[in-house]
């Protein structure tokens, strides 16, 4: 991974300050800049800063152009807002420099609230957002979520977690089963009704300013399987819901999506099947990403989430005879190896 030199960092800091000062001069009257404080970033290449002004605080999102464009974030912000979804207000942006000045939503995520005490009503409220997201119009800024991309996501687990982080050779005796698993997961994800999905609709991407929830990190939205966002929320990599509440909320997610007419007439047993296998794909990918964040991006803080994430896969795979080999392999070899690795 290429790291910026000191001269590039100094120039970036200068550009950042000039951008903020320009906003103050042109869009915010006579407010004075008091401080710029770095905030711990998310699991991405984006940097965040809290910009303290005399009368208010703002958030600066910083994306160097070589890492990606801010345009999906800008345009999808409009799309989500137009669909009645609560997202942060954008005050100013510079596409060439990769800066976005945002409303400051504070620092309280759904995850913070749930860690204090589980609040089922919060989840029930959030399930009302699912039909709004699913009913959005497809945007040109949404990347294709096709078979090739689904295959790529699944193999993040194999490449980054099994082979790169654990240093294990992928078992030759599992090659046929792995290919069959990949094809089956891809097939079921593409056979579902294809709707807009946030793609990371979970407890760390929902913020609360007072009692009002706000949705963030929506720039990777795509058109894909209709139950994906429900899986993201209810089988969260960071929080495991109480069993009875999970079952109740899963049924409620079905009812809300069905009432919105986006399920194409599927039955609840069909929904559970899609929900389970979509979860297997998502959680294999997520576990691999956590390992990649450590190896490639120097972010080891996500390693602790790998085992809980893979336990979702074990639970789902054990429910289907054709995938029990995966559950057994994870339980007998992969998870024990991860635990040893984390202790070293």
Sign of CA dihedral 280, 285, 291, 293: negative
- Asked if 278 contacts 226 with a C-beta cutoff of 8 angstroms, the reply is no
pLDDT at 24: 76
* Domains of the chain by residue range: 6-103, 110-343
Q: Which helix (H) or strand (E) holds 124?
A: helix 120-127
pLDDT at 31: 60
Across 15-22, average pLDDT = 83
Dig out the tokens for 3 from the structure.
Answer: 């790291």
Instruction: In whole angstroms, give the CA distance from residue 58 to residue 60.
Output: 7
Dig out the tokens for 127 from the structure.
Answer: 């399930």
DSSP letter, residue 109: B
Q: Report the DSSP beta bridge partners of residue 196.
A: 223
CB atoms within 10 A of CB 135: 15
For residue range 149-164, list pLDDT tens digits in order. Answer: 999 999 999 999 999 9
Q: Which helix (H) or strand (E) holds 47?
A: strand 47-53
**Cα Rg, the chain, nearest whole Å:** 21
Taking the domain 110-343, which CATH number applies? Answer: 3.90.1200.10
Instruction: In whole angstroms, give the CA distance from residue 179 to residue 216.
Output: 34
pLDDT at 54: 81
CB-based contacts of 290, cutoff 8 Å, min separation 6: 161, 237, 302, 303, 305, 306, 309
Dig out the tokens for 49 from the structure.
Answer: 């800063």
For residue range 130-140, list pLDDT tens digits in order. Answer: 999 999 999 99
Q: What is the Cα 287 distance to its own chain's centre? A: 12
Which 3 state secondary structure label does DSSP give 298? coil
Q: Which class is 6-103 in CATH?
A: alpha beta
Instruction: In whole angstroms, give the CA distance from residue 220 to residue 340.
Output: 34
Q: 233 pLDDT exceeds 60? A: yes
Across 23-38, average pLDDT = 70
- Specify burial of residue 181 (Cβ count, 10 A radius: 0-12, 13-18, 19+): buried
Work out the pLDDT band at 260, boundaries 50, 70, 90.
very high
């Amino acid at each position: 991974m290429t790291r910026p030199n000191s001269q590039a960092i100094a120039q970036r800091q200068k550009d950042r300050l000039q951008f903020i000062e320009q906003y103050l001069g042109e869009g915010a009257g006579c407010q004075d800049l008091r401080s710029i404080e770095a905030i711990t970033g998310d699991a991405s290449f984006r940097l965040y800063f809290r910009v303290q002004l005399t009368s208010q605080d703002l958030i600066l999102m910083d994306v160097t152009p070589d890492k990606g464009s801010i345009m999906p974030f800008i345009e999808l912000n409009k799309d989500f807002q137009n669909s009645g979804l609560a997202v942060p207000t954008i005050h100013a942006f510079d596409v060439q420099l990769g800066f976005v000045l945002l409303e400051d939503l504070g620092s309280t995520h759904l995850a913070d609230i749930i860690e204090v005490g589980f609040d089922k009503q919060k989840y029930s409220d959030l399930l009302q957002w699912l039909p709004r997201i699913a009913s959005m119009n497809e945007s040109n800024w949404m990347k294709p979520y096709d078979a090739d991309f689904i295959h790529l996501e699944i193999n993040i687990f194999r490449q980054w977690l099994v082979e790169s982080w654990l240093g294990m050779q992928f078992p030759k005796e599992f090659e046929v089963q792995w290919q069959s698993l990949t094809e089956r997961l891809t097939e079921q994800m593409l056979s579902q009704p294809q709707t807009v999905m946030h793609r990371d609709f979970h407890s760390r991407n929902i913020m609360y300013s007072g009692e009002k929830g706000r949705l963030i990190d929506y720039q990777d939205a795509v058109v894909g399987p209709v139950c994906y966002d429900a899986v993201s929320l209810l089988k969260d990599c960071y929080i495991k819901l109480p069993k009875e509440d999970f079952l109740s909320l899963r049924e409620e997610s079905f009812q809300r999506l069905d009432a919105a007419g986006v399920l194409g007439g599927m039955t609840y047993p069909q929904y559970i099947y899609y929900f389970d296998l979509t979860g297997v794909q998502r959680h294999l990918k997520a576990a691999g990403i956590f390992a990649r964040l450590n190896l490639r991006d120097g972010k080891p803080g996500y390693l602790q989430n790998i085992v809980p994430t893979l336990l979702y896969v074990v639970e789902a795979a054990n429910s289907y005879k054709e995938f029990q080999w995966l559950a057994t392999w994870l339980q007998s070899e992969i998870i024990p190896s991860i635990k040893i690795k984390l202790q070293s």
